[in-house]
Structures are given as structure tokens and as C-alpha cells.
Amino acid sequence: MPKIRLISRLDVKDENLVKGIQLEGLRKLGNPNLYAKDYYEDGIDEILYLDIVASLYNRNNLSDIVERTTENVFIPITVAGGIRSLDNVHKILQTGADKVAINTAAIKRPEIITEVAEAYGSQCMVLSIEAKKTPGGNYECYYDNGREHSGFDAIEWAKRGEELGAGEILLTSVDRDGLMRGMDQDIIRQICSEVRIPVICAGGADSAEEIAKAAFNGASAVAIGALLHYKKKTVHELKEELTALGVEVRR
Amino acid sequence: MKVIIIDYGLSNLLSVKRAVEYCGFDAEISYDPEVIGNAECLILPGVGAFSKGMEQLKSLGLDTLIREHVDAGKPFLGICLGMQMMFSSSEEGGIHAGLDIIPGTVEKIPDITTDGEPLRVPHVSWQKVSFDRYPDHPLFSGIESGSEFYFVHSYEGKPSDTKMLLASCVYGGRDVTAIVSNAKGNAIGCQFHPEKSGHAGLALLKNFLTRNTA
């Protein structure tokens, strides 16, 4: 029986929780700390904060939000967005984060994966991959929150990331983000079978059925945004349904 | 009782401090040998590589102070890498000596299950921890055996005296060390992160802290 972690993905812009569609067209939802606390109380397994404009402005604004989170949320916290140096990693870990997810900086300078893994352990280094399907049916890595394309093949990049020392992969399907029309199970299956490290899948987790499919396709965790933010489901409901679908979850 | 959380530059200390405070105790983060040498209760957190952790402790002169603290029977809690460093040695990146509070070695988790299937390592998971070995241990008071705790690690400690193994979980069909204790019982090590394991983790941390104030 596969087992899955449910991660709340909180996209943040200027202190506000936001949610877009295909990483664009943002809607403001409110205070991210309140959402994190609610999801924690309802049984979410991890929190993922993403500063979605950080790469554009060369900075990550999440320190205060993360620090406030540690006051009443006692589960792992991952921070993503605009992390490009060991100094950035150090600062964000000091505010109470457990892991960092890096996309743009790793595409520009892959050695940063090894540097972070050596300094803070591979468990701290999550390689974030934002994949879009090409007309030819392959998957290409995008960066700067889905705005720029890298020419990197997503599957090859995942394998290389593992070799360089990443401890987990955060795989976001840009095509499916925020649409509530299911996950890209094809890329999930391919990447999960190509790497031995845990893969967190994101983009289009719109039902327990989709999350269960991802689990059976090898995902170790699913990051959920819109489904929870728009209160279509609670964490508790999702866990009940996943159990009924034969997927093990933390009770 | 004030809890001193040892800062040797390698971990997320704020979460540990917040968790201790949440349990109703004062906590201070410190790397000052004076403060650590005089502490009533020490917590050694930590993530990252074993050799680097030991190197940092030694360069700050804290390895000896920690051993003296434990020998004096004072409460000590190692978390994750902090727990692994309690062992005699580790095979992570070559053989490296540890604090030798728990005789035994730290070994790599095999990336294959007992059925021969590929197994993901690092082991990142909420895992059920069984208290069946010591169901009445005060550390487990009020917590159900089989409660889940958050693990993230690629290596695991193997105590040579199995009496020192308080609890374990199962990963890939094998028992994985979850909690160890020295013979006196004042030094406890958790492979999982109690400060990141929700209500069960906080309850266990509180049991550790209150047991030592009674």
C-alpha cells in the first residue's frame, strides 16, 4: 500500500497568500499564517511556502512569515523562491525552515545543489522542477516561476539533481497549476521511476482520486493549493478518502 | 528548569526552542562552553553530515562538556543528527568517531527493501513508532503506541546493546531505530524530529522535560 504525505502549498506575494492559474493571474486570499495554522490543526503533514516573485526581485520575503509559523505550527516547513546562495539558505533555516526548494539558482548554477547538500545535508536540499509539456511530448524545465524556459529536459534534470545531492524533488506541472483539472500523471510516473529520492508532486491536485493516482505512480508527497484554499475539501476529508482508496496517510 | 539548546552552526534551532517553550519550559540557544557546562538540561539538535557535526562540536570544545553532562546523570536529548552523534561511530563519509554515549554504530539505510524492491533514501516520512519494547516507559506516557513521528534521514544508529533501543519504526520491511537511551536513562536520542511531529512529538518532548523536573 503506498503512503503519501500531504503538503500545503502556500504561494506568497507581498505578505499575502495568493493563488494563480498556471502560475499566473493571481488572486489574493489572505494571511498565510492563518491558513498554515488551520491546515496544521486539521492534520496537514508539511507546509511549503513559495515566494512567487522572489526570483524577479532577487530576494525572499518569507523570513517573517516562517518565523511566525514556528510559534504554533510543529511540522516541517519548506521555503522556496529566490534562494540563490548558501547565505540565503542559512538565513531562511535560522527563521525556522527545515528545507529549501531551489529552482532558478540551480538551473543557472547546478553546483549549488551539492553545496547546500554538503553544508546542511541532502534532506535540506529540495530540487524544484517546474515542468511544461512541449509539443513533441517531452517535458521542459521552466524557471522564474514558470516565466522562462531553460532547455533542460525535466527527466534528465531530475536524475542529475539526484546525482548532485538533492534529497527530494518538488515536481510542479505548470500546465496543470491552479486549474483543478487533475495532475499530469505521465510526468509523475516517469520521474518517480527514474529517481530513488522522494518526489513531491504539485499542480492540479483537485481530488483524493488524483492524489491517490499520484501515490500509486510513485509520489511520496503531494503539494495541494487551490483544493484546500478554496475549501473544496478539508485535510481531514482528503485523508479519509485516501484511506478508502487504499493509500496510507498519517492519522 | 532551563533548557540549553546547543548551537553548533548546523541546524534549525528556532523550531526546537519554540517547541520547548510550547511545553512550558524556558529555552536558550547557546554555543558558549560556560553556559553548556553549567546547564541543567541539554538538547543537541542537528541536521547534515556526521563528520561535520562532530568537527563543529570539537572545535567549540563541546564534545567533552556533553559527555561530562551525561556522565553526571543530567538530562540530555539528541535529535536526528544529534542522536546519531551519541553513538560510538558512524560510517557516513568514512568512519568517524562520535560522542560514544550509546555504544554502537551509525550505518546507511539500504536502498532496497527486504523483498528486493527499490527503496527511497533519504527516508522522509511520518512513521508509526511502536512502544511495545517498553510500554510503561515514562517517555511514552499519554502517547499511543503506533503514533506517527516525522523522520528524515539516510543513516540510522544501531546500538550494540539492544536494551538501549527504546523504540523503532519499520521502513522497507526492516526495523529502524527510532529512540535510544543510555543505561542510566538520562540521555535519550530520537531519530525523528519531536519538534516537527505535531501533537505526538510535543507530548514526547514534554514527557522528557517533565520527567526530569519531577
Distance (Å) from the alpha carbon of A229 to chain B's nearest alpha carbon: 21
**Residue A156: strand pairing partners:** none
Instruction: Report yes or no on A250 lying in a domain.
Output: no
pLDDT at position B213 is 65
Asked if A50 is an interface residue toward chain B (Cβ–Cβ < 8 A), one would say no
pLDDT at position A240 is 98
Q: What's the rounded mean pLDDT across residues A118-130?
A: 92
Domain that holds residue A20: 5-244
| Residue ranges covered by each domain of chain B | 2-211
pLDDT in tens, A63-88: 899 999 999 999 999 999 989 999 99
Cell numbers describing residue A23: 502560475
Instruction: Report yes or no on A79 lying in a domain.
Output: yes
Q: Using the structure block, give the residue that is written with the C-alpha cell 522562462.
A: A148
Residue B40 catalytic?
no
Averaged pLDDT of chain A: 93
Q: Do A121 and B202 touch (CB under 8 A)?
A: no
Residues of A in contact with B48 (CB under 8 A): 119-121, 124
Distance (Å) from the alpha carbon of B72 to chain A's nearest alpha carbon: 31
Which of the residues in chain B have pLDDT under 50? Answer: none
Q: Do B12 and A97 touch (CB under 8 A)?
A: yes
pLDDT at position B49 is 83
Q: Do A168 and B153 touch (CB under 8 A)?
A: no
* Topology adopted by domain B2-211: Rossmann fold (3.40.50)
pLDDT band at A60 (very low <50, low <70, confident <90, very high): low
SS3 percent helix, strand, coil of chain A, rounded to 5, is 40, 30, 35
Q: In the predicted model, is pLDDT for residue A2 greater than 60?
A: yes
pLDDT at position A58 is 55
Residues of B in contact with A124 (CB under 8 A): 47-48
Q: Do B125 and A5 touch (CB under 8 A)?
A: yes
Number of domains in chain A: 1
Handedness of CA A192, A195, A197, A199 (dihedral sign): negative
pLDDT in tens, A143-184: 987 889 999 999 999 999 999 999 999 999 998 988 888 999
Number of inter-chain CB pairs under 8 A, A vs B: 91
Contact indicator for B157, B177 with CB cutoff of 8 Å: yes
Q: Which residues contact A57 (CB under 8 A, 6 or more apart)?
A: A82
- The number of residues in chain A equals 251
Instruction: Report yes or no on A251 lying in a domain.
Output: no
Q: Give the domain CATH number at A37.
A: 3.20.20.70
